[in-house]
Chains A and B, each alone.
Chain A
Amino acid sequence: MGRLPLGFGLALALAMAMAGGFVYLVAGVQLTAEVDESLAHERNHLLPPGAQADTTALVARVTAIEAHRWISDRGHLLFDRTGRRILGRVDMPMPAAGYSDVRYRDVGVKLHSGRALCIQLPDGGHLVIVAHSEIGEIMRQMVLPAVIGVVLVAGIAALTGSHLFAHMIAQRIARAQSAADTIARGDLSGRIPLDGLDGIFAEQALSLNRMLDRMAEMVHSHRQFAGHLAHDLRTPLTRLKGLLAEELATSPGDRDGLVERADRECASIIAIFDSLLRLSEIEAGSHPVGLQPLALRPVIEDVAETMEPVIADAGSQLSLGQLDQATVLADLGLVHQLLVNLLENIALHTPQGTRARISLRRDAARGEAVLTIADNGPGLAVTERERVIQPFARGATAPSRQGSGLGLAIAEAIMRFHGGTLELADAAPGLAVILRLPLFAAKESSEPA
Chain B
Amino acid sequence: MDILVVEDDSAIAGLIGRGLDAMGHQAMLADSGHAAIRECESRCFDALVLDRMLPDISGLEVMARLRARGKAPPVLMLSALGSVQERIDGLVAGADDYLTKPFDIGELGARLVAITRRSGLREEPETQVGQLRLDPAGHRAVLGENSASLNRREYSLLAFLMRHADQLVTRSMLLQGVWNYDFEPTTNIVESNLSRLRTRLQRLGCDPVETRRGHGYVLRSERCV
A contact residues vs B (CB 8 Å cutoff): 227, 230-232, 234-235, 237-243, 245-246, 249, 266, 270-271, 274-275, 277-278, 281, 286-288, 302, 305-307, 309-310, 312-314, 333, 336-337, 340, 344, 347-348, 402-404, 407
Q: Please name the residue on chain B nearest to A407 by beta carbon.
A: B186
A336 and B181 form a contact (CB under 8 A): yes
**Cα A309 to Cα B88 with chains together (Å):** 30
Number of inter-chain CB pairs below 8 Å: 120
Residues of the A chain whose Cβ atoms lie less than 8 Å from the Cβ of B225: none
Q: Are B102 and A270 neighbours in the complex by a CB distance under 8 Å?
A: yes
> Shortest beta-carbon distance, A354 to chain B, in Å?
14
* Cα(A227)–Cα(B80), bound, Å: 12
Instruction: Please give me the residue from chain A that is nearest to B11 by CB atom.
Output: A239
Q: A235-B9, A242-B102, A287-B83 are in contact. List 5 more A-B contacts (CB 8 A).
A: A237-B102, A242-B12, A275-B184, A288-B88, A340-B183
Hey, which chain A residues are within 8 Å of B118, CB to CB?
A: none
Give 14 A-B contacts (CB < 8 Å), ordered by A residue: A231-B82, A242-B11, A242-B15, A242-B19, A245-B104, A270-B102, A271-B184, A288-B88, A302-B152, A306-B193, A309-B192, A333-B84, A337-B181, A344-B186
Nearest A residue (CB) for B103: A238
Provide the residues of chain B in CB contact with A348, threshold 8 Å: 186-187
State whether A288 and B184 are in contact (beta carbons under 8 Å apart), knowing that A238-B101, A238-B103, A306-B193 are contacts in the complex.
Answer: no
The one of B11, B16, B82 that contacts A277, using a Cβ cutoff of 8 Å: B82
Contacts of A302 in B (CB 8 A): 152-153
Known contacts A246-B15, A309-B195, A333-B182; A231/B80 CB under 8 A: yes
Q: Using a CB-CB cutoff of 8 Å, which residues 102-129 of chain B contact chain A?
A: 102-106
For residue B182, which residues in chain A have a CB less than 8 angstroms away from its CB?
333
Specify which of A238, A270, A307 is in contact with B12 (CB 8 Å cutoff).
A238
The binding surface of chain A is classed by DSSP as helix
Contact flag A310-B105 (CB < 8 Å), given A246-B19, A274-B82, A344-B185 = no
How far, in whole Å, are A310 and B19 apart by their CA atoms in the complex? 33
Chain B residues whose C-beta falls within 8 Å of the C-beta of A266 in the assembled complex: 102
CA A4 to CA B100, docked complex, whole Å: 62
Instruction: Identify which of A235, A287, A404, A407 contacts B85 (C-beta below 8 A).
Output: A287
A270 vs B101: C-alpha distance when bound (angstroms): 9
A232: min CB distance to chain B, Å = 8
Residues in B with CB closer than 8 Å to A306 are 153, 179, 189, 193
Cβ contact within 8 Å between B186 and A403: yes
Q: CB of B151 within 8 A of chain A?
A: yes
Query: CA–CA, A234 to B86, complex, Å?
Result: 15
Q: Is B18 an interface residue (CB 8 A)?
A: yes
Q: Report B175-225 residues with CB < 8 Å from chain A CB.
A: 179-189, 191-193, 195-196
A336 and B153 CA atoms in complex are apart in Å by: 14
Residue of B nearest to A310 (CB): B192
Residues in B whose Cβ lies below 8 Å from that of A231: 80-82
Asked if residues B181 and A340 are in contact (CB atoms below 8 Å), the reply is: yes
Given A238-B101, A278-B183, A286-B83, do A310 and B22 touch, yes or no (CB 8 Å)?
A: no
Chain B residues lying within 8 Å of A287, measured Cβ to Cβ, are 83-85
Max chain A C-beta neighbours (<10 A), residue from B15, B81, B191: B15
Q: Give the nearest-CB partner of A347 in chain B.
A: B187
Leading 8 A-B pairs by shortest Cβ distance: A238-B102, A242-B15, A309-B192, A238-B101, A310-B192, A237-B102, A234-B80, A288-B85
Given A306-B193, A309-B195, A239 contacting B83 (CB threshold 8 A)? no
